[in-house]
Chain A
């Protein structure tokens, strides 16, 4: 008995009941569509949130003084920044930026608010790696020549009555724990959509903040490294760790610096997998049901086949060949149905702004209100492989039932 024979017979068998086969194929195709949509939208949303979170300060990978992530303080200073940046470039990061961050009291004309000052280098920062530059809604980014420029969030600007040109005083503690103050003139106002950020962050020139906090030219709070693909963060971290082991620095991925976001994603991903598992279970039950029906209806056929000398194991393989065809054809139909949907949702998306608004945030990161898909190739292969496995698995029991058919009893059936 050769495999070609089994495949040919299996192919013929599945088309004996065309309607049932078409229903089975649509189940598999539906499973593929749902899996791709669920996984693709989740992967897009996670990547989007991770990338946005990275541009809010810490990058995908962060190099800081040891202990900074656990208890951030101006006294924990990253020194040798030039060396860190050089090593980062060697590790293949897309961009590396130095940042100084400190908690501060911000005041203007008798009004005050608590918040955070973030020092950035205006000569190298761009909107691609800094959400505050990207989201300026009034005024502009300060130039390298404007040593007292500042960007402030829209909510804080409203509370402190700030407009471009106005004076803002920040009071913080320097690297020695002494209270220090500085003054800035508002250059621009940003709106990220995350109220906590728009009400709490003031962006200042790095050089000026170094001066106020007593940092040296080669010092900062941390270096934020940006990657083309956030999934490479562990690899880059490990690569950098080899350079800096045991010299008072810590190298962290976004999972450590944005623990809230990492926790949220892990929880959401688990829920997503559970939902997909249930859907796959339904698909598998549907396929199992139709195959079992098919086997039960063909008991006489299996009895005759055994009576003329076909071994039970070949009958099992015959049913599995049918399952194989159902899997292959179902996935082919699934690809045909899913691909246009995927391409549309990947490039155009579905705008859910009327449902969730345009300022919905999670774990301090703005969520894109446009539903888009982004499926990583390896994830796509896992989905296809898993669905194929489910179809085959759904065929095992009907195959065993067919193989156990007793010829005489089966042939008595009409």
Chain B
């Protein structure tokens, strides 16, 4: 699993789904070091495939929502997420295959292919968007990292890395600041800024646990800056790596199976 991928919110939702190879360094020494840190983080989560169960809690000003999800992934571009709970949404599934995303609604037995017009719509009512899902695996190509702080902050020895979009990268953020626990090389928080320098949203990592012999943050909370009190929290209950899936597993036919 790529660290780059994790700094994107949807990757945080199902953060084992999108392993991204970090680009070879070759710019400045600072950039090379930042890339090296991310490579280590990336290696920490890197897996050819994964399967896990997680709980997602969405709190907004208008409603609260709890979902239990099961996910499968292979490589960077294939993933499947299915709702297990609540019962009325049981079976609803999202399939990502390359740049294409499908949603299956069991109540109407319809497979919907997401179009550009629905890209900024929320994913399953959370604070993540479909666009986060599609672009999660392209961050390594889109951003250049650089270390902006090293030292103790809030009592934690950390390294802060700034991700700046490349000139031709189709990304909306002007800057992403990532704080990494220096001793364990684990992400602590990602902050997303627009071109006014305004913080738009933050993704907090916590609940570090061993899962399938890997030390990982198992809780991620996305907090929009302009909506006080709102958040989406993902909590992993189980996670395993290195599974073998049939080629047909990540297909539209599989999407329709409960």
CB atoms of B168 and A112 under 8 A apart:
no
Closest to B115 in A: A173
CB atoms of A112 and B174 under 8 A apart:
no
Selected interface stretch from B30-38, B74-82, B195-203: B195-203
Contact of A179 among B116, B169, B192, B198 (CB under 8 A): B116
A178 with B116: in contact, given A109-B200, A148-B168, A161-B196 (CB under 8 Å)?
A: no
A103 with B194: in contact, given A167-B174, A183-B170 (CB under 8 Å)?
A: no
Contact of B173 among A109, A148, A173 (CB under 8 A): A109
Question: When chains A and B are docked, how far (Å) is the Cα of A107 from the Cα of B196?
Answer: 14
Per-position 1/0 for B151-187, Cβ under 8 A of A: 0000000000000010111111110000000000000
Q: Which of A105, A173, A182 lies at the interface centre, i.e. has the most chain B CB atoms within 10 A of its CB?
A: A105
Interface assignment of A166: CB less than 8 Å from any CB of chain B: yes
Shortest distance between the CB of B118 and any CB in chain A (Å): 8
Per-position 1/0 for A95-115, Cβ under 8 A of B: 000000001110111111010
Shortest distance between the CB of B99 and any CB in chain A (Å): 5
CB atoms of B174 and A109 under 8 A apart:
yes
CB atoms of B99 and A172 under 8 A apart:
no
Interface assignment of B117: CB less than 8 Å from any CB of chain A: yes
What residues of B have a CB within 8 angstroms of the CB of A108 in the complex? 172, 194-195
Interface assignment of B135: CB less than 8 Å from any CB of chain A: yes
Interface assignment of A238: CB less than 8 Å from any CB of chain B: no
Shortest distance between the CB of B40 and any CB in chain A (Å): 29
Interface assignment of B120: CB less than 8 Å from any CB of chain A: yes
CB atoms of B99 and A179 under 8 A apart:
yes
Interface assignment of A363: CB less than 8 Å from any CB of chain B: no
Interface assignment of A181: CB less than 8 Å from any CB of chain B: yes
CB atoms of B201 and A110 under 8 A apart:
yes
Shortest distance between the CB of A258 and any CB in chain B (Å): 23
A167 with B119: in contact, given A109-B196, A109-B198, A110-B200 (CB under 8 Å)?
A: no
20 interchain pairs, CB-CB under 8 A: A105-B119, A108-B194, A109-B196, A110-B192, A111-B194, A112-B119, A112-B129, A114-B117, A161-B194, A167-B172, A169-B171, A171-B116, A173-B115, A178-B100, A179-B99, A179-B115, A179-B134, A182-B170, A183-B169, A183-B170
A105 with B195: in contact, given A110-B201, A169-B171 (CB under 8 Å)?
A: no
Interface assignment of B42: CB less than 8 Å from any CB of chain A: no
Shortest distance between the CB of B98 and any CB in chain A (Å): 8
Interface assignment of B131: CB less than 8 Å from any CB of chain A: yes
CB atoms of B195 and A167 under 8 A apart:
yes
- Interface of B toward A, CB cutoff 8 Å: 98-100, 114-120, 129, 131, 134-135, 165, 167-174, 192-196, 198, 200-201
Question: When chains A and B are docked, how far (Å) is the Cα of A114 from the Cα of B131?
Answer: 13
Closest to B196 in A: A161
What is the interface of chain B mostly: helix, strand, loop, or mixed? loop
Question: When chains A and B are docked, how far (Å) is the Cα of A156 from the Cα of B99?
Answer: 27
Q: Which of A105, A110, A112 lies at the interface centre, i.e. has the most chain B CB atoms within 10 A of its CB?
A: A110
Question: When chains A and B are docked, how far (Å) is the Cα of A183 from the Cα of B173?
Answer: 11
Question: When chains A and B are docked, how far (Å) is the Cα of A170 from the Cα of B134?
Answer: 14
CB atoms of A107 and B120 under 8 A apart:
yes
What residues of B have a CB within 8 angstroms of the CB of A112 in the complex? 119-120, 129, 131, 172
Contact of B172 among A109, A148, A172, A179 (CB under 8 A): A109
Question: When chains A and B are docked, how far (Å) is the Cα of A276 from the Cα of B131?
Answer: 57
Please report which residues of chain A, range 142-200, place their CB below 8 angstroms from some CB of chain B when the two chains form the complex.
148, 161, 166-167, 169-173, 178-183
Question: When chains A and B are docked, how far (Å) is the Cα of A114 from the Cα of B117?
Answer: 6
Question: When chains A and B are docked, how far (Å) is the Cα of A368 from the Cα of B129?
Answer: 42
Q: Give 10 nearest A-B pairs by CB, closest first.
A: A109-B194, A181-B170, A112-B120, A110-B200, A183-B170, A105-B119, A172-B116, A107-B172, A171-B116, A105-B116
What residues of A have a CB within 8 angstroms of the CB of B201 in the complex? 110
A to B contact number (C-beta, < 8 Å): 75
Question: When chains A and B are docked, how far (Å) is the Cα of A170 from the Cα of B173?
Answer: 13
Closest to B226 in A: A110
Closest to A178 in B: B99
CB atoms of B195 and A166 under 8 A apart:
yes
Question: When chains A and B are docked, how far (Å) is the Cα of A170 from the Cα of B171?
Answer: 9
What residues of A have a CB within 8 angstroms of the CB of B120 in the complex? 105, 107, 112
Question: When chains A and B are docked, how far (Å) is the Cα of A180 from the Cα of B100?
Answer: 10
Shortest distance between the CB of B225 and any CB in chain A (Å): 9
Question: When chains A and B are docked, how far (Å) is the Cα of A181 from the Cα of B114?
Answer: 14
Question: When chains A and B are docked, how far (Å) is the Cα of A104 from the Cα of B168?
Answer: 18
Question: When chains A and B are docked, how far (Å) is the Cα of A20 from the Cα of B167?
Answer: 82
Question: When chains A and B are docked, how far (Å) is the Cα of A170 from the Cα of B195?
Answer: 16
Shortest distance between the CB of A155 and any CB in chain B (Å): 17
In addition to A105-B120, A112-B129, 10 A-B residue pairs with Cβ atoms within 8 Å of each other are A103-B117, A109-B172, A109-B173, A109-B174, A110-B192, A161-B196, A171-B131, A172-B116, A179-B99, A179-B119
Question: When chains A and B are docked, how far (Å) is the Cα of A178 from the Cα of B97?
Answer: 11
Shortest distance between the CB of A112 and any CB in chain B (Å): 4
Question: When chains A and B are docked, how far (Å) is the Cα of A179 from the Cα of B114?
Answer: 9
Closest to B99 in A: A179
Q: Which of A104, A107, A109, A169 lies at the interface centre, i.e. has the most chain B CB atoms within 10 A of its CB?
A: A109
What residues of A have a CB within 8 angstroms of the CB of B99 in the complex? 178-180
Closest to B199 in A: A110
Question: When chains A and B are docked, how far (Å) is the Cα of A390 from the Cα of B94?
Answer: 73
Closest to B201 in A: A110
Question: When chains A and B are docked, how far (Å) is the Cα of A109 from the Cα of B226?
Answer: 13
A103 with B195: in contact, given A109-B174, A110-B172, A179-B134 (CB under 8 Å)?
A: no
Question: When chains A and B are docked, how far (Å) is the Cα of A272 from the Cα of B123?
Answer: 52
CB atoms of A104 and B171 under 8 A apart:
no
Closest to B225 in A: A110
What residues of A have a CB within 8 angstroms of the CB of B129 in the complex? 112
Closest to A168 in B: B172
